Chain A
Amino acid sequence: MLANLPARLCSLLLSLFLIAFALPAFAGPFEDAVAKFANDDFSDTEEAVGVIASSGNKLAFPIISALQDGRLMADPDSKKVYVTGTDGKSIDAATGEAVTSVPDSASAVRLNNRLRRSVDAALGSLTLQSPDVGTRLQAAQSVFKSHEETALEAVDAALAKESNKSVKTALGEARAAILLFKPDATEVEKLEAVATLKARGDQEAMALLTGMGDQPASVTKAAASAISSIQSSLAVWSTVQNAWYGLSLGSVLLLAAIGLAITFGVMGVINMAHGEMVMIGAYTTFVVQEVIRTRYPGLFDYSLLIAVPLAFLVAGAIGVLIERSIIRFLYGRPLETLLATWGLSLVLQQAVRTMFGPTNREVGNPSWMSGAFELGQITITYNRLWILCFTLAVFAILLAMLRYTALGLEMRAVTQNRRMAASMGIATSRVDALTFGLGSGIAGIAGVALSQIDNVSPNLGQSYIIDSFMVVVFGGVGNLWGTLVGAFTLGIANKFLEPVAGAVLGKIAILVLIILFIQKRPRGLFALKGRAVEA
């Protein structure tokens, strides 16, 4: 819909241009209003928008849509106002005549939030009969939001011609919103309006119903019953919403913890530098995006797909290096491993701080990861949805790898009984290095996904390390399924607690619950059984 907007605008501008030539120019209220844009005063601009929108002048739409996009240029010296088209061509806003160039002293007319709302409302009533379905729907929605009485005529006219079902519903709702607030609307009209809003049944409808002010008794009564019915349906939806948020938080926890489930869970290495592997993955994404931005801007939407294998390789290679140079000398000495990896995490943080600077780095969201869609009465954001899918995919691949590949078999053999595996001819030290590399590499992949929802700074890893350990310990050391169940349990419990207890108390409550749980079941949800565990 957005793609053909410029084209449509161009043809519109062209036709207006012809009309402008056909009509003799005269100074009237319209021209006076246009000149007001040059005053650089928000109240003057608002007044001008009102006059122009109701003027019926053919230039109204191009002027106001240009104002919305920051393409309306005003010259404070000559008080001339210009509309610059998306194609670079400009017209004089008062007369519609083409101009060769906009003077340098002209700057875009500024907007504030109040103005943005009135611009939206004005554009809404102007585009109610646009040929494009999407534009019409949007127009109806912005009229619904502003519900100004002046738009009623335009809505009625549009409603009479409308054939598309969803636009028709939206127009009906817009009409209801206007009538509800119209002081001289009849009681019947108002009751109908309440019924329409009740059928819409979302938060915005409820907002209108609660904020409608003084009404006849019958309307107030109908509104009260509509509100309670909307409220009870929203309460159900809010449970669904909490569950979804819990799944989404759980997927982030799982993604951060899954690498640790290998290095800590399978190998038994207390790796405090795990969070820094996540950070390295995020910075890899940043570097990939920087290269794409400067060299191949067209590939931006694929940047994450390119970053995933790279982050795995970079973080994995660093992991192998750490294992070979530090951790292999510390097997069986957990306290020293903890201290060494803690120190290492500080070294890595400061190294990144020196290389990339202490401030956040911008990692953009590709278009397919921005925005949200509505499912019933809940909003599902694309980035969270993709992260959930991605996490499950990583989990499945990892599980398959451990189960079906030779390396996976060797890993399991070495961790279950090192000496027996060595006797069978497995190069245990090589397997150790690769296992640690795999865990680190997966942490790197997690970094790619987390760069989409968190800020990319040297401190990124720190905020995930505690949560990751919590998930692995809670789920049961040495069991990937335990990590999965643990992450989702914690995520969902957290999100159901948060609305009740608040974010701070919620987090404390979860910690206390885990401590109590570990007292009862020291090996976590899914405890490994057998002789290897006892050793």
Chain B
Amino acid sequence: MLTKSTRDIAASFSRRGVLAATAGLMLGLATLTGAKAADDTIKVGVLHSLSGTMAISETTLKDTILFLIDEQNKKGGVLGKKLEAVVVDPASNWPLFAEKARELITKDKVSVVFGCWTSVSRKSVLPVFKELNNILFYPVQYEGEESERNVFYTGAAPNQQAIPAVDYLMKEEKVKRWVLAGTDYVYPRTTNKILEAYLKSKGVAQEDIMINYTPFGHSDWQTIVADIKKFGSAGKKTAVVSTINGDANVPFYKELGNQGIKAKDIPVVAFSVGEEELAGIDTKPLVGHLAAWNYFESIKTKDGSNEKFIKDWQTYTKNPKRVTNDPMEAHVIGFAMWVKAVEKVKSTDPDKVIDALPGIEAPNLTGGVSKMLPNHHITKPVFIGEIKGNGQFDVVWKTPGLVAGDAWSKELDGSKDLIGDWVGKKCGNFNTKTNKCLGSGS
């Protein structure tokens, strides 16, 4: 794609002819502004794994940014310049993420980077973005407990996904007993810690919470599914809150289906299962299991914005079956916000754009308008969807309005007094009790 865009520019020159090009150049020189605009582009870095274990999820996000850049260029680009994507492949290798981020910023001189999926990859690139002062848009739901000046979190914080999902199960399904099942790494561990604290604050007893971790790529779920079945037969309504990541979901759901655990008996609500993941399984035995997201492909909008996005995306990818998902929407919102901020300050200078971003609003794909908050998280609606037989979701519940993302969880002792505020306090972890900025405020 990189070479394609350069080829396009070259082609446009030859088509218009040397004369026109010279004329344009002279005109540009005469006006002194935009002299470089004719042959200059704004570079946008794309830092998503295209090989290795995470390629399954991240490749789509790379395509999304290319699609958004293509659309923006059709509208004339930004500040009169075309956008140019610089795609690198960090190959699901965490240290390589930092290397590639450095390469994007210092060698390719990108103005902004859209990238990362796993929390460990985000943590690995953080020092690079701080040191070289650039902007990262991070599109995936994550465990929270972070607010950095150079990072904008367009995915859901725990209070925008996990907590509303648990609320739904408590109110609608009258769940009294909870299985918190996750893959053994930082996102599930932190999310489960937050959920455990939240459940206990709602009066759930310790013996009604079962926490279970499995290794990455776990494929033999027989024992765990049998344990869940046993845990669920204590006479109280039971649900599973799943932070099981990636590939391990398919065998987990297959085992649930085969052992006959139906959603109406023990529903499973998942935070990492979207349209993309379901594309690999026959969903008929899973009908009724739930997922909590800020976006579903099946959502109908009054102004038709989601429908139009899906259609344009499928035309762009030349695949009428290509699905859309939540992290894609996060990139759509983040990209639109970045474009607006750049146009507002008429510059791509990271310092100016970082200061301009809080307060910027951009329409999301579900008919609302999301806003960038001073803590660098955004406001989002929360939806609970039920899996349907065709691999899509049917929205059964949504929050009445938009939910503001909390950088620091209110449920955990260590973080309930902290806020992130990059506008007034210029601090990512400001303690409201002691009125002090802990650590890395600039």
Contact = CB atoms under 8 A, between A and B. Distances in A.
Interface string A492-504: 0001001100111
Interface in A82-118: 110-114, 116-117
Contact of B258 (A242, A382, A457): A382
A209 B222 CA distance: 26
B59 interface: yes
B276 to A, nearest CB: 6
Contacts of B227: 499
Interface stretch (B23-31, B128-136, B213-221, B374-382): B213-221
Contacts of A242: 223
A379 B226 contact: yes
B235 A211 contact: yes
Interface string B212-245: 1111011110111011011011111000000000
A371 B258 contact: yes
A353 B55 CA distance: 9
Nearest to A498: B223
Contacts of A462: 53, 217
B267 A113 contact: yes
Contacts of B50: 358
A457 B277 CA distance: 11
Contact of A456 (B53, B226, B233, B280): B280
A42 B168 CA distance: 14
Nearest to B397: A112
Nearest to A458: B55
Contacts of A117: 264
Given A211-B235, A360-B247, A248 B263 contact: no
B381 to A, nearest CB: 19
Given A353-B51, A359-B279, A372-B258, A503 B218 contact: yes
Interface string A421-454: 0000000000000000000000000000000011
B89 to A, nearest CB: 11
B123 to A, nearest CB: 21
A480 interface: no
A384 interface: yes
Nearest to B169: A113
Given A110-B394, A381-B255, A498-B223, A207 B280 contact: no
Nearest to B262: A116
A323 interface: no
B223 A245 contact: yes
B150 to A, nearest CB: 29
Given A211-B235, A362-B282, A503-B215, A252 B220 contact: yes
Given A241-B226, A358-B59, A502 B212 contact: yes
A204 B265 CA distance: 11
A116 B267 CA distance: 12
A455 B250 contact: yes
A456 B215 CA distance: 19
A210 B265 CA distance: 17
A212 B236 CA distance: 10
Nearest to B58: A358
B396 A112 contact: yes
A210 B51 contact: no
B277 A360 contact: yes
Contacts of B56: 358-360, 457, 459
Interface string B307-331: 0000000000000000000000000
Contacts of A458: 55
Interface in B49-74: 50-51, 53, 55-56, 59-60
B413 interface: no
A457 B280 contact: yes
A235 to B, nearest CB: 11
Contacts of A135: none
Given A114-B173, A241-B226, A359 B276 contact: yes
Contacts of A349: 51
Nearest to B219: A454
B227 to A, nearest CB: 7
A457 B247 contact: yes
Nearest to B263: A113
B281 interface: yes
Contacts of A252: 220
Given A211-B234, A245-B222, A384-B222, A504 B264 contact: no
A120 interface: yes
B251 interface: yes
A358 B280 contact: no
Nearest to B224: A503
Contacts of A384: 222
Interface string B244-286: 0001001100110111100111010000000011011110010
A459 B53 contact: yes
Interface in A478-535: 495, 498-499, 502-504, 507
Interface of A: 42, 110-114, 116-117, 120, 145, 203-204, 206-212, 241-242, 245, 248-249, 252, 349-350, 353, 357-362, 364-365, 370-372, 379, 381-384, 453-459, 462-463, 495, 498-499, 502-504, 507
8 contacts: A114-B172, A206-B233, A245-B220, A245-B223, A358-B51, A361-B280, A365-B282, A459-B217
